[in-house]
Structure 1
Amino acid sequence: MKSFGMAAAIGAALSVFAALPSVAETVNVRLARQFGIGYMPLTLVQEQGLLEKHAKEAGLDVTTEWLRFTGGSGMNEALLSGSLDIAAGGTTPMLTIWARTQGNIKIKGVAALASMPLHLMTTNPDIKSLSDFTRGDKIALPAVKTSIQAITLQMGAEKFLGEGKHAALDTFTVSMGHPDAQVSLMGGQSEINSHFGSPPFQNMEAKDAGAHKVLDSYDVLGGSHTFTAIWAKNEFIEDNPEVVKALMAALEESIAFIKANPEEAARIWAKAENTNLSQDEIVALINDPQTNWTTTPERLLPYVNYMARVGLITKDTDDWRDLFFDTVKDMQGS
């Protein structure tokens, strides 16, 4: 009888223990972003602790580690080496790593961040169009041949200089982060006399009387397109479904906050980036009618189709959903 009673007691105790809520294991998420206002949704996620907030609401204990990169290629290397979970950058580095990994680790997009125009600026008064670049000119951009600026420059060369001319301007390009490129361009003391940048760097350059715009990415693509996005390995997405849901909720809250509170979003971003832009200038960038803060991908197929056609990548698709995980499958992307 004693053994029966003891067994019953143990069974009851186990039942109570099983009913208790489990203690969530702490998940450390390593995220990265680059320089520029196109990463504002991520800046607010970081500064306002939105990923941690939404994870906690789902019963998860999440910590975050934020890294900074000057280009997408370095970010992809970190992703491949396992030292990064969520990469963020221009869309073409994402497309490059997507094409390379679909037969193995399957890296795909998680969400877009913003659609923004990219401007090729120059201080050379003789350059009015792409055909005016000569051997003495140098174009700074985040990464030669792989950054969204480099690919857009190739697409622009093909569109405005003619078929087969897509690589005509590659010889003029040099890899340089946007902050350094802006300093080099406006300082006038380096070989850099052109910069294919992004907001806010191109906007600050445009304020200088000696600089002017040569090319607009919206003209190349025929309309607005996704500039910044985030991507990850399939393993991370599959192993952390609740964390991914929390990340998407954090991004949606961040973007809603930017749209509803541009002045406060500008203040938070300015403090985090230590920018020289005024409050009014940042708000103007946020409210720019050409900018669309959204997680919905836009006009990525022209990029992937071009890159596949000229041999920059070995995989192509006519369905933008192939480029992303199911995190954005119900959106009206392109």
Structure 2
Amino acid sequence: MRLTSKYAAAILLAAFTGMAASAHAQEKTEITITKQPSILYLPALVMQKQGLIEKSAAQDGVKNLKVNWRSFSSGGASTDALLSDNVEIVNSGLGNLLLLWDRTKGKVKGITTNSALPLELVSRDPKIKTLKDFGPRDKIAVPTVRVSTQAILLQMAAEKEFGKDNWSKLDANTVQLGHPDAAAMLANASGEISTHFAAPPFSYKELKTVPNAHVLLRSNDIIDGGLSQSTLFTTTKFAEANPKIIKAVLAASEEAIAFIKAHPDQAVDIYREISGDQTSAAELLDMLKQPGMMDFQMAPAGSMKFAEHMSKVGILKTKPAKWTDYFMPESAGLNGS
């Protein structure tokens, strides 16, 4: 029997309604997000404390969303958890996002960044004043060798210092350690780690308390305009099945960053409570007053320069044409670079 256009339209409408209902039914009611030590991840702690993702999701119809937060000492462990479906969203460095985007052929993408605070290469060895002073036995702690944000920044700095064919000159000096362990090792005068490519507040405390500690270079010295570090990313499969949660993460990030800038004292209290960091509130507030230390922002900064280096040295097999290649469509309005 031939269908009239009226009946055909009704059937199509029913089909689309059914698809929408099916997609809605698949929207998760419980998710797990990773986080890492460092005040770089302060927006995540504010989101956790204030239940901002849950609040935003509820306003969009996802009632009673439960968000679990799991701590990892390195980005490598958290990305493994994403690939094995043990977590839904990762909050880690930009390098880990790019690596997974490449390895999964675009099936992992960013949602938003939320900080571009400066990273600092801190050494306690008074003989080491520049990258040229490192000998083969001088060890540099980074969160993940070769592929962490710090490891790649070190390669970019080595290329500037030693020439384009020598970007890997200091790779053999790197040792994989999470920031808390690296800071403890740096504070030990007899420890084998004499240099740490540190994130705040670890770099701040090292410079205050470790004898002879000094800064060799900062991330802003390597990439003009700074580099986003803390990045929220997930699989495209999860994003497509849970668009309201992706929207909620974006809204919650914006709200958390606005809260930090308006109420840094309260934000610091949240950081100390959740992280367990014993640094005094006064010291943390003093740290946030340092240049670049309030660069909490959603727009990816310096990411294409970072990606271009990763592609050039073979870490990425696919070179992105623009930053939106490795971020979700919902993020396109962030005005990143």
**CA distance in structure 2 between the partners assigned to 1:146 and 1:94 by the alignment:** 10
**CA distance in structure 1 between the partners assigned to 2:323 and 2:242 by the alignment:** 23
- What letter corresponds to residue 252 of structure 1 in structure 2? E
> In the TM superposition, what whole-angstrom CA distance separates every residue of 1:42-92 from its partner, at most 9, and x where no partner exists?
001111111111122222120011111111111111111111110011111
Are 1:329 and 2:332 an aligned pair? yes
1:203 maps to which residue? 204
2:96 maps to which residue? 93
**CA distance in structure 1 between the partners assigned to 2:246 and 2:224 by the alignment:** 33
- What letter corresponds to residue 235 of structure 1 in structure 2? K
1:225 maps to which residue? 227
In the alignment, structure 1 segments of 5+ residues that lack a partner are: 1-21
SS across alignment from 1:207: helix
Q: CA RMSD in A?
A: 1.6
Q: Is the Cα contact below 8 Å between 2:92 and 2:230 reproduced in 1?
A: yes
Q: Is the Cα contact below 8 Å between 1:24 and 1:59 reproduced in 2?
A: no
Are 1:79 and 2:79 an aligned pair? no
- Percent sequence identity is 36
Normalised to the residue count of structure 1, the TM-score between the two structures is 0.90
**CA distance in structure 2 between the partners assigned to 1:199 and 1:270 by the alignment:** 13
Count, aligned residues? 311
**CA distance in structure 2 between the partners assigned to 1:288 and 1:121 by the alignment:** 16
**CA distance in structure 1 between the partners assigned to 2:130 and 2:299 by the alignment:** 32
SS across alignment from 1:114: coil
Q: Is the Cα contact below 8 Å between 1:258 and 1:286 reproduced in 2?
A: no
In the alignment, structure 2 segments of 5+ residues that lack a partner are: 1-23
Q: CA deviation at 1:276?
A: 2.3
1:169 maps to which residue? 170
> In the TM superposition, what whole-angstrom CA distance separates every residue of 1:91-134 from its partner, at most 9, and x where no partner exists?
1111111111126xx10111001011111111111001001001
2:3 maps to which residue? none
Are 1:63 and 2:66 an aligned pair? yes
- What letter corresponds to residue 150 of structure 2 in structure 1? Q
Q: CA deviation at 1:284?
A: 2.9
**CA distance in structure 2 between the partners assigned to 1:153 and 1:235 by the alignment:** 33
**CA distance in structure 2 between the partners assigned to 1:318 and 1:298 by the alignment:** 16
- What letter corresponds to residue 248 of structure 2 in structure 1? A
Larger radius of gyration: 1
**CA distance in structure 1 between the partners assigned to 2:248 and 2:60 by the alignment:** 8
1:31 maps to which residue? 33
The match for 1:301 among 298, 301, 304 is: 304
Distance change >3 Å, CA 159–CA 24, structure 1 → 2: closer
The structure 1 segments of at least 4 consecutive aligned residues displaced by more than 4 Å after TM superposition are 22-26
Q: CA deviation at 1:26?
A: 6.0
2:109 maps to which residue? 108
Q: Is the Cα contact below 8 Å between 2:73 and 2:178 reproduced in 1?
A: yes
- What letter corresponds to residue 100 of structure 2 in structure 1? I
